[in-house]
Chain A
Amino acid sequence: MSRLGIIGIGLLFATGIWLVAAPFVTGQQPDGTTWTAATRNDVIAGALLTLLGFAGFFTALAGHIADLYARGAGPSVPQ
């Protein structure tokens, strides 16, 4: 179940990256001109979403791995 949650946070992270790139990919922000309000907003919101996704993804992943350790899975024997 929490694996689905981690995937959801990963998708939020990807959406943040899309939002940062969107003004330039869709051509609404021409190169070499001052950023419009829409571009500024998209970049800031996208950066925020990316940061949230990044922090949330790795916090959740760290908790998942900590649970695996706490469950007492023994060290794997190298073959």
Chain B
Amino acid sequence: MTRYLAGVITATAALGVGTWLLLAPYALDYPSGGTASDVDLWTGAGVCALSLITIVVWVRAWRTRLRDDGLLPERPVPQPGVPEEPPVPAATEPTIEDLHSLLKPLVTALAADQLEYAAQKAGRPTEERR
């Protein structure tokens, strides 16, 4: 862990130095257009860019190490071999045909029950009256 921390701290402090180099020509009132001003601005820009890249590299390395040690949850990686689930089709409005096809078996079953009941009633009229 020490090396990651050392890397991040060093690069962050260097970012501070780079920022100061960018500001120094104005803060210390360098002669405008002089070599000193150019050197500080270009070097400061380079140090800032290099520091930012170095910070990103160290932070990524640290995160990778923490994942390897099981201290950070694994990032879900999409696997190229596994096909993705097909998209669920959008729900459509039910039509009257859907309603008919849904109710038809129910109505048929009810009609059959009714016929059977009527047949039983006709066959045993006395029992029903009791």
Contact = CB atoms under 8 A, between A and B. Distances in A.
B35 A28 contact: yes
A41 B43 contact: no
Contact of B34 (A19, A28, A60, A64): A28
B60 interface: yes
B10 A15 contact: no
Interface in B1-36: 1-4, 6-7, 9-11, 13-14, 17, 20-21, 24-25, 28-30, 34-36
Q: Bin the interface of chain A by size.
A: 35 or more
B110 interface: no
Interface of B: 1-4, 6-7, 9-11, 13-14, 17, 20-21, 24-25, 28-30, 34-37, 39-40, 43, 46-47, 50-51, 53-54, 57-58, 60-61, 64
7 contacts: A5-B11, A41-B40, A45-B21, A49-B14, A63-B1, A66-B2, A66-B3
